[in-house]
Homo-oligomer: A and B are copies of this chain.
C-alpha cells in the first residue's frame, strides 16, 4: 500500500478530479471533509458519516490535546480506534484555533502559549509539539503549524507573519520527519499564507515548494474577507502551488464557495457549516438553503430536497423536520446534519462527474441558477 499518491484523472478548465491513495483508504477529489472536532462529527454516528460518502474526516488538534489529551489518546490506541473511524483523518495543527483565543495567547518565534478555554490551564504549541500531538493522535494527513493572521491587517504584518509561518513550516517538516513509523504511513501538508496579496502568496508558495510537502493548503482565507475577495485570491493562489499535488482550501465553505473553489483548482475542503447549520435548523438544498424553523414548512409533506438521495429525504417530510426543530428535539439536529453532509457529498460527486466529462463550466452555471433561483 502506498503512503500517499495523488493521481489526477481529468481536468475541466482549472478544475481537477482525481484520487489520493493512502494506507487507510482512497480519497476522491474534489473532496469535502466533515469536521469531527472532538473525536465526533457532531450529532452523527460514524458509520452514517461514511454512508454520506465521506472518504476522510478532520480532527482538531487544539480540542483533542485539551480533552482527552494527546498522550491519553495514544494510550487509548489513537483517534481512529477511539472514535471508530478506520479511514483517513486529517488533523489541523492547532494553530488557527489557538490564534482565535485572542486574549488568551502569546505568540513568539518559538511558538504559542495559551490558556485552555475549558479550565484556563496553560499550554504550549510549537511546530515540534504540534507534530508530536498529531503523531500521538495517529493522524493520516498532518498539517504544518502556522500562524493565521486576520486578512485586514497591513501588508507588513501579513508579510512578517507569513515569513514566520514558513520558518515554522520547515520546523514542522523536520518534526514530522523525525516521527519514525508514523512518518512512513502518513502525509504532511504545508500551508500557504499571505492573505489577499499575490506577491506574498507567491513567496509563501515558493518557500513551501522548497521544503517539499505531500500536499499544499491555502490558509488565511474564509476569515471574514468575503466571497469576492476570496475568489479573487483563488484566481491566482492555487496556480502558485505545485500542480501535481492536492490543494486544500481550509475552512471553506458554503456550497457556492465549494463550486467556486473547485472552478479555481482546489481539490479539498473542510468546513463546520453543514454540521453546525444542521444543528441550527438550516438545510442546504440544490435550490438554496432553507430555515426549517420557518412556519411555512409546518404542513409541507414534501422532502427537504426532491433531488437529494439521502435517507432523510427518502423518509421524512419537511413538516416533520420543522416539528423536530421547533420542539428542540435532538433528532432534528441529527437528521438535518445527515442531510447536509449527504448533500455536500452529492455536490462533490456531481462536481467530480462534471469534471470527468469536461463540462464543469456548464455544471457550475446550472448549479448557480438553481441554488440562487435566478
Contacts and interface: CB of A to CB of B under 8 A. Distances in A.
Find the residue from A77, A319, A326, A333 having the highest chain B CB count within 10 A: A319
A323 B67 CA distance: 8
A317 B316 CA distance: 32
A211 interface: no
B330 A43 contact: yes
A236 interface: no
Contacts of A104: none
A164 interface: no
A42 B329 CA distance: 7
Give the contact-size bracket for chain A.
Answer: 35 or more
Contact of A299 (B75, B316, B323, B330): B75
A80 to B, nearest CB: 12
A193 interface: no
B72 A331 contact: no
A142 B314 CA distance: 29
A38 B76 contact: no
- Most B CB atoms within 10 A — which of A75, A316, A327? A327
A250 B45 CA distance: 32
A84 interface: yes
Interface of A: 38-40, 42-45, 67-68, 72, 75-77, 82-84, 279, 298-299, 301, 315-317, 319-320, 323-324, 326-327, 329-331, 333-335
